[in-house]
Amino acid sequence: MPRKLLKKYIPSEQTLKENKYLQIFGEHILAPNLWHLNKRSVSGAFTVGLFCAFVPIPFQMLLAAGVALIAKVNLPVSSALVWITNPLTMTPIFYFSYLVGTWVLGTPITDVEFSLSIQWLQNELSVIWQPFLLGCLICGTVSAFLGNILVRLMWRYLVVQSWQKRKDKRIT
């Protein structure tokens, strides 16, 4: 079961207390739902992580971690999910978000040649920012909602399957 696999990698409470970098969060970092794997915590972490993956800013992990602390959902899962938008997938995901934004706004698609420079940000992003950010908001919201629902359904399915196995074991 994935829960057992994930538990191996989640740090213990003692490790968290002793980590000097995490001491700035005080006792907030020790909230049980931040580290436990239960339906509410993991489905909420999917909501936070998938939404933050579509926020076009650097250091999305910090944003996801901050929101996870506030929402008291699983911190490692929410922080890991933002890596859906990694250097390999970022361009197609954000381009799709831009296309969604142009479709919703009814604006024409602008051909933009990407280059990683301040001049490009000043010139090209000023033209496409509205459909791009709207598309990111829509895609982030939809993926967060679907992720939450799918995790809850999968969790329920696995629990029912586990009950059925125990029931079958008892009968035999």
Task: State yes or no: pLDDT of 131 exceeds 50.
Answer: yes
Judge residue 78's burial from the number of C-beta atoms within 10 Å of its C-beta, 0-12 exposed, 13-18 middle, 19 or more buried.
buried
Rounded CA-CA distance 15/20 in Å is: 10
Whether 24 has a pLDDT exceeding 70, the answer reads: no
Per-domain residue ranges for the chain?
2-171
Bigger pLDDT: 99 vs 22: 99
Asked whether the whole model's pTM tops 0.75, one would answer yes
The residue among 116 and 41 whose pLDDT is bigger is: 41
Q: Is the pLDDT of residue 142 over 90?
A: yes
Q: What are phi and psi of 54, to 5 degrees?
A: -95, 5
What's the rounded mean pLDDT across residues 118-144? 86
- Give the pLDDT confidence score for residue 1 in this predicted structure: 46
Which whole number is the average pLDDT over 74-86?
Answer: 90
Q: Which two tokens stand for residue 105?
A: 């706004």
Query: pLDDT band for position 21 (50/70/90)?
Result: low
What is the length of the chain?
A: 172
CA–CA dist 111, 2 (Å, integer): 43
Give yes or no for residue 83 having a pLDDT over 80: yes
Angle at 25 between CA 23 and CA 30, to 5 degrees: 90
Residue 33 pLDDT more than 80?
Answer: no
Burial class (CB in 10 A: 0-12, 13-18, 19+), 88: exposed
**Mean pLDDT taken over the chain:** 84
Q: How many C-beta neighbours within 10 Å does residue 115 have?
A: 10
Q: pLDDT > 70: what percent of the chain? A: 78
